[in-house]
């Protein structure tokens, strides 16, 4: 029951975020014939050229939903040309991303080919994916991320990864 409420809260914030981008919403996904479990090996490319600003967060343990150890966050990330969001997992941190400016490439553990995301694309990041992202264009990419961040990860590198 608690996770259903979390989904509702995530949906409301995501809908509000999406309303900022207008009617061009889409979703880039892995082609079905290229999907699999852990078919892309972990990548060790270090992160670079990424700014990550927390725009707001709610400690869910202090809300009626009473989910201990979770922050509901909204962040803005800007990835510079050639910038990399390093390999990370969403095993314990579901997220929803919307690309609001530019084009960025995702390299996901469950897809054998790169996934190209454009302005207006939305991606759902669940426990089924580990991945990394790279801006392969000559212009900055801007995106917004909502997630249910485990407070036990505060102060770790994953605190500022998509």
What CATH number corresponds to the domain at position 116? Answer: 2.60.120.10
Give the pTM: 0.79
What's the rounded mean pLDDT across residues 125-140? Answer: 95
What's the rounded mean pLDDT across residues 18-46? Answer: 78
How far is it, in rounded angstroms, from Cα 38 to Cα 77? 26
Instruction: Among 3-7, 88-92, 154-158, name the most confident range.
Output: 88-92
Confidence of residue 27 (pLDDT cuts 50, 70, 90): confident
What's the mean per-residue pLDDT of the chain?
86
Predicted local confidence at residue 154, as pLDDT: 79
Confidence of residue 28 (pLDDT cuts 50, 70, 90): confident
What's the rounded mean pLDDT across residues 80-104? Answer: 95
Domain count, the chain: 1
**More confident of the two residues 78 and 26:** 78
Radius of gyration of the chain (CA): 15
pLDDT at 116 over 70: yes
Name beta bridge partners: 50: 79
Confidence of residue 13 (pLDDT cuts 50, 70, 90): low
Range of the domain at 104: 2-160
- Is residue 143 left, alpha or beta, with left meaning phi > 0 and alpha meaning psi from -120 to 50? beta
Predicted local confidence at residue 10, as pLDDT: 54
Predicted local confidence at residue 157, as pLDDT: 61
Strand spans (E) along the chain:
48-59, 70-89, 95-101, 104-108, 115-117, 122-125, 130-134, 141-150
């Amino acid at each position: 029951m608690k996770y259903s409420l979390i989904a509702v809260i995530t949906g409301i914030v995501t809908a509000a975020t999406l309303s900022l981008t207008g009617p061009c919403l889409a979703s880039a996904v892995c082609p079905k014939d290229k999907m699999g479990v852990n078919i892309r090996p972990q990548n060790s490319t270090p992160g670079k050229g990424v700014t990550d600003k927390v725009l707001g967060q709610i400690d869910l343990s202090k809300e009626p939903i009473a989910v201990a150890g979770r922050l509901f966050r909204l962040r803005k990330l800007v990835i510079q040309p050639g910038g990399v969001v390093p390999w990370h997992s969403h095993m314990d941190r579901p997220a929803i991303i919307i690309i609001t400016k530019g084009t960025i490439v995702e390299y996901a553990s469950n897809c054998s080919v790169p996934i190209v995301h454009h302005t207006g694309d939305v991606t759902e990041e669940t426990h089924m994916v580990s991945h990394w992202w790279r801006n392969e264009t000559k212009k900055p990419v801007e995106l917004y991320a909502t997630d249910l961040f485990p407070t036990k990860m505060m102060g770790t590198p994953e605190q500022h990864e998509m």
